[in-house]
Amino acid sequence: MGSEMMRRFFKKLFFAFFVISLIIFPYNIISAEAEENTDSFDEAQIIDRLYTEVGADELIFHVPEESRDFLGKIKFDDFKPGTTDSLSVESVFDGIVYILKENLVEPLRVMICVIGIILITAMFDALKSSSLNGSLSSTLSVVSSLCMVAVVAPSMLSLIDVLSETIVNSSNFMVVYVPVITVLIMTSGQPVSATMYYGVMIYVSNAILQIASKIIIPLLKCIISMSVVTSVSDKMSLDGIINLFKKSIRWILTFCMSLFVAFMTMKSIVSVSEDSLSNKAVKFAISNFVPLVGGALSDAYQTVVSCVSVLKSGVGVAAMIAVFAIFLPAVAKCVIWQFVLAVSVSVCDIFGINKASSLLGSLSAVISTICAILLCTMVIYIISTAIIIIVGG
């Protein structure tokens, strides 16, 4: 038992000196200021130096161009802590309206074409003779469905490509952002939390990218193909399989997001407890083991830790806004297409064109699934950053 306690003591002591070595990095940054003024540190200069040294000034250039347009509308041009102070509800609302306007043209054009096909189909259905009732109704149904497929399907496939591109862009941004915030978390006296966050987020980013590209996107394309077959054929109905796929995707998304949030929260709470202990050990070691200047160096350490914590929170909040901006154009497209297809389905129901209504309803369900995937991925990235900032302090 005694040997076990001694082993733990030396392990913690070694860990404390390891953390002290991490302080050399920020302490070198403030050494010039310390030589000029030994009584106080210029916190703003420390934060600016750290901001540049860790590479946070390069993060804005890894945000896609379309998302940067939105950030420009809300006057967000870098990841410094004070940048978020200029945000307002009006500017964010104006930015969202701008994104909606930018993505409104194509869906409206498609909606006009679809409504035109519906009206033509309804006109021919009203003019058909009673002797050709059965065959002409079947022909009209198939022709109207094929025309709608020719108009709507390319846009749906394009929307799936937008999903893929958005997930790739968000994963690329996280791959650049995670090392930056990890360095800030580690330099703020939280090496355990930093290690945990880095490992989890790099794995999650790669996992989301692989699952989306190899499973979800091919599955969505299969659902669109089956919806087209169901709308054209009178003798085949794949609605049961389509509904099974859609429900499976949503259940998987819900389960994965709940599991991730619970895991991240528990790991963060445990990591913060270990970091708090090691941080106290570092301050104790600096104050008592460094001759002559131990107390001053301990105060300098605390000043640096405070500055790093401010920068960490600022960069983390800015990253959450950037993630929101990356996903916003794709989510806006999904919302607009949902509205367009809902209007088209309503027009189909008014004129009693059931096959076309079923096709458009299935495509609308595909878009809702795409939107759910986008929102779940965005929430995972945002919540993970919020947890590590809030729990870590």
Query: What average pLDDT does this structure show over 53-66?
Result: 83
What's the total number of domains in the chain? 1
Residue of 357, 68, 377 lying closest to 212 (CA atoms): 377
Read off the pLDDT of residues 280-319 as tens digits, 9 standing for 90 and up. Answer: 655 555 555 555 445 555 566 666 677 777 788 888 888 8
Joined tokens for residue 36: 């000029």
pTM of the model: 0.79
Read off the pLDDT of residues 185-242 as tens digits, 9 standing for 90 and up. Answer: 877 777 777 788 888 888 888 888 888 888 888 888 888 887 777 777 666 666 677 7
Query: What average pLDDT does this structure show over 178-187?
Result: 84
In whole angstroms, give the CA distance from residue 266 to residue 198. Answer: 16
Q: State the pLDDT at residue 302.
A: 64
The most distant pair of C-alpha atoms in the chain lies apart, rounded to whole Å, by 107
**Domain ranges, residue 370:** 2-392
Query: What average pLDDT does this structure show over 360-369?
Result: 85
Long-range contacts, 37-41 (Cβ 8 Å, 24+) = 38/296, 41/300, 41/303, 41/307
Mean pLDDT of the chain, nearest integer: 76
Predicted confidence (pLDDT) at residue 155 exceeds the cutoff of 80? yes
Q: State the pLDDT at residue 280.
A: 61
Residue of 115, 108, 148 lying closest to 363 (CA atoms): 148
Q: State the pLDDT at residue 36.
A: 45
Predicted confidence (pLDDT) at residue 38 exceeds the cutoff of 50? no
Query: What average pLDDT does this structure show over 121-141?
Result: 65
Predicted confidence (pLDDT) at residue 183 exceeds the cutoff of 80? yes
Among 19-23, 75-79, 219-223, 232-236, the range scoring the smallest mean pLDDT is: 19-23
In the chain, the percentage of residues whose pLDDT exceeds 70 is 74
In the chain, the percentage of residues whose pLDDT exceeds 90 is 5
Q: State the pLDDT at residue 323.
A: 92
Tell me which range, 44-48, 79-83, 196-200, is most confidently predicted by mean pLDDT.
196-200
